[in-house]
């Protein structure tokens, strides 16, 4: 029988735990989407994606794509000969870094952490914000890392302070940060991350920055901050193409080499369609952002929240998600059921992110269709 995860022993990092794999904990957020995301009749304000592009729109933006697909066969795809150059150009690959295409950002995170686990043999400490995407904790614990969370500041819109971040860098070998943050939409300034990378570099540590919610024009990548900075991104969130399952990692060549070996033991390669479509998309990458639409929706959401006294919004700086705190005596679960019964889907915060605030809170995604957002907010306002 596979041993159950003993969080305390992982935290202490006893010798008998080093190198072991542990039972996976449930991925609450993804379980939630598996259950509810495709339910008919719901206005989905839970999703963090922008409005997805249709095949017709994709073909119009990349006119040569249809012809290439007709000629495509299903051998193992030639990634190096087709996809890498346009990807390097689109991502403005900094000196000293390589780009490694993956099956979405989720695979990137697994491969990066797996490669680092191979590098650091003694089960090093990894730190990540206590409010963030569940992959960092789930994968890290599965791989046998000792884990630590970086406390959020409840008096400063649940951000992490510079002091808390730098302290984590001082005690950890790896610090994983989503920038912009999911779910708050907060951004850690580039200069703060530059200093964090320097602290980690003194002990051969790594700063892992998840930039899947980085919208070109409102956020500059931190990939060039140092050799020990690893950046993860994908087409899924701000580019409206989650079904293509194309992500990437920017890192120094040694880490990329280990990631490639690990990928060869798991998914082996990308699929043929993601390589052919991805090559054309990367040649036109900036045209796929919904930046203008997202900006309109963000302003609409902020203005709407000012009209509803029962809601406190943590104003998002970037990305496609925001946190709504509800002034109510009802439980988070009861509020969720009330919203759902009226046709609106939100992510219950403490249940899916494992972070409890003083009041019930929900993650709202505002990157989708504006009409649906306006209708969903109208229903929420009437309920509250």
Burial (CB count <10 Å: 0-12, 13-18, 19+), residue 105:
buried
Q: Are residues 278 and 373 in the same domain?
A: no
CA distance 109 to 51: 24
Confidence tier at 15 by pLDDT (50, 70, 90): very low
Q: Are residues 233 and 318 in the same domain?
A: no
Q: Are residues 302 and 272 in the same domain?
A: no
Least confident of 11-20, 119-128, 314-323: 11-20
Residue-range definition of the domain harbouring residue 115:
65-287
pLDDT tens for each residue of 161-195 = 999 999 999 999 999 999 999 999 999 999 999 99
pLDDT tens for each residue of 224-235 = 999 999 999 999
Place of tokens 């892992």: 208
Q: Please report, for residues 239, 260, 274, the alpha-carbon distance to residue 281 in angstroms, rounded to integers and kept in the order given.
A: 10, 23, 10
Q: Are residues 183 and 281 in the same domain?
A: yes
Q: Are residues 45 and 181 in the same domain?
A: no
Domain assignment of residue 28, yes or no: yes
- Give the model's pLDDT for residue 218: 87
Q: Are residues 167 and 41 in the same domain?
A: no
Domain assignment of residue 366, yes or no: yes
CATH of the domain at 224: 3.40.640.10
Token digits of residue 65: 């794509």
Q: Are residues 214 and 343 in the same domain?
A: no
CATH of the domain at 356: 3.90.1150.10
Q: Are residues 108 and 171 in the same domain?
A: yes
Domain assignment of residue 91, yes or no: yes
Q: Are residues 33 and 149 in the same domain?
A: no
Domain assignment of residue 98, yes or no: yes
Least confident of 62-66, 199-203, 244-248: 62-66
Q: Are residues 125 and 44 in the same domain?
A: no
Q: Are residues 151 and 226 in the same domain?
A: yes
Domain boundary among the residues 287, 305, 330 is at: 287
- Provide the number of structural domains found in the chain: 2
Domain assignment of residue 194, yes or no: yes
Residues in Cβ contact with 34 at an 8 Å cutoff, skipping those fewer than 6 apart? none
pLDDT tens for each residue of 365-379 = 999 999 999 999 999
Domain boundary among the residues 270, 287, 304 is at: 287
Domain assignment of residue 9, yes or no: no
Share of the chain above pLDDT 70, in %: 94
pLDDT (average), residues 243-264: 97
Token digits of residue 240: 């409206």
Share of the chain above pLDDT 90, in %: 89
pLDDT, averaged across the chain = 92
- Give the model's pLDDT for residue 22: 74
Entry field: residues in the chain: 384
Give the phi and the psi of residue 62 in degrees, each rounded to 5. Answer: -125, 80
Domain assignment of residue 349, yes or no: yes
pLDDT (average), residues 197-212: 97
Q: Are residues 325 and 188 in the same domain?
A: no
Domain assignment of residue 59, yes or no: no
CA distance 215 to 48: 13
Domain boundary among the residues 228, 257, 287 is at: 287
Q: Please report, for residues 34, 177, 214, the alpha-carbon distance to residue 353 in angstroms, rounded to integers and kept in the order given.
A: 15, 15, 21
DSSP secondary structure string, 229-248? EEEEEESSSTTS-GGG--EE
């Amino acid at each position: 029988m596979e041993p159950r995860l003993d969080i305390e022993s992982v935290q202490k990092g006893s010798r008998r735990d080093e190198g072991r794999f542990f039972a996976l904990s449930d991925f609450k957020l993804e379980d939630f989407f598996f259950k509810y995301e495709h339910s008919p009749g719901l206005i989905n304000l839970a999703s963090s994606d922008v409005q997805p592009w249709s095949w017709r729109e994709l073909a119009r933006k990349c006119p040569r794509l249809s012809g290439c697909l007709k000629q495509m066969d299903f051998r193992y795809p030639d990634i190096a000969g087709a996809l890498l150059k346009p990807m390097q150009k689109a991502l403005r690959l900094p000196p000293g870094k390589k780009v490694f295409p993956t099956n979405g950002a989720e695979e990137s995170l697994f491969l990066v952490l797996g490669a680092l686990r191979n590098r650091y043999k003694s089960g090093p400490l990894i730190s990540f914000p206590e409010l963030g995407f569940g992959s960092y904790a789930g994968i890290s614990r599965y791989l046998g890392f000792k884990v630590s969370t970086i406390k959020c500041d409840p008096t400063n819109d649940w951000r992490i302070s510079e002091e808390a971040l730098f302290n984590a860098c001082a005690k950890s070998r790896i610090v994983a940060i989503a920038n912009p943050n999911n779910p708050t939409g907060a951004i850690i300034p580039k200069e703060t991350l530059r200093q964090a990378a320097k602290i980690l570099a003194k002990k051969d540590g790594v700063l892992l920055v998840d930039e899947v919610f980085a919208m070109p024009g409102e956020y500059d990548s931190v990939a060039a901050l140092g050799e020990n900075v690893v950046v993860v991104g994908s087409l899924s969130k701000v580019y409206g193409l989650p079904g293509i399952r194309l992500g990437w990692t920017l890192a120094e060549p040694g880490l990329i080499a280990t990631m490639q070996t690990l990928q060869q033991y798991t998914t082996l390669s990308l699929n043929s369609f993601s390589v052919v479509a991805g090559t054309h998309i990367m040649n036109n990458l900036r045209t796929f952002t919904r930046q203008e639409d997202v900006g309109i929706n963000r302003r609409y959401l902020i203005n709407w929240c000012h009209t509803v006294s029962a809601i406190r919004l943590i104003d998002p700086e970037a990305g496609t998600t925001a946190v709504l705190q509800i002034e109510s005596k009802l439980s988070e679960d009861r509020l969720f059921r009330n919203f759902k019964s009226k046709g609106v889907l939100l992510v219950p915060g403490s249940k899916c992110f494992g972070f409890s605030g003083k009041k019930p809170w929900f993650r709202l995604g505002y990157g989708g269709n504006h009409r649906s957002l306006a209708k969903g907010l109208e229903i929420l306002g009437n309920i509250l």
